[in-house]
Amino acid sequence: MTDPLPRLRIDKWLWHARFFKTRSLAARVVSDGGVRIDGDRASKPSQTVSPGAVLTFPQGRRIRVVAVVALGTRRGPAEEAATLYDDRTPPSQPVPPRVGPRPTGRDRRRLTALKGDPEDL
């Protein structure tokens, strides 16, 4: 009889791989519907993942795309956690450099007057 693929809870794997500081924070992101497993929305933190699955989830202001390579047995050091996944996140767009000096308060007021401040409506 062949053993099925090993599986691990999604919240536990995200915590083991050090994407979230606490397991409860990882569970909250999953519960809020922010995690996709192979394109399907994960509805519960108890859903399981196995090697080969592709996860898409928000982390801060970035959207991360990672492929599960291995399941961890513990939350180890960062070097160990990096072996659990293959990062497929597209590179972020570089922030264009600022042209000229920083706007002054007077500049901001003039710009607000041109745009029409919503508070004045």
Residue 116 CB: number of other CB atoms within 10 A? 8
Helices and strands in the chain: count of H runs, count of E runs: 4, 7
Which has the minimum average pLDDT: 31-45, 74-88, 102-116? 102-116
Q: Residue 58 pLDDT more than 50? A: yes
In CATH, the number for domain 1-89 is: 3.10.290.10
Q: Residue 11 pLDDT more than 90? A: yes
pLDDT of residue 65: 96
| Residue for token pair 């607000």 | 112
Q: Where are the domains of the chain?
A: 1-89
pLDDT of residue 2: 61
Confidence label for 121 from pLDDT (cuts 50, 70 and 90) = very low
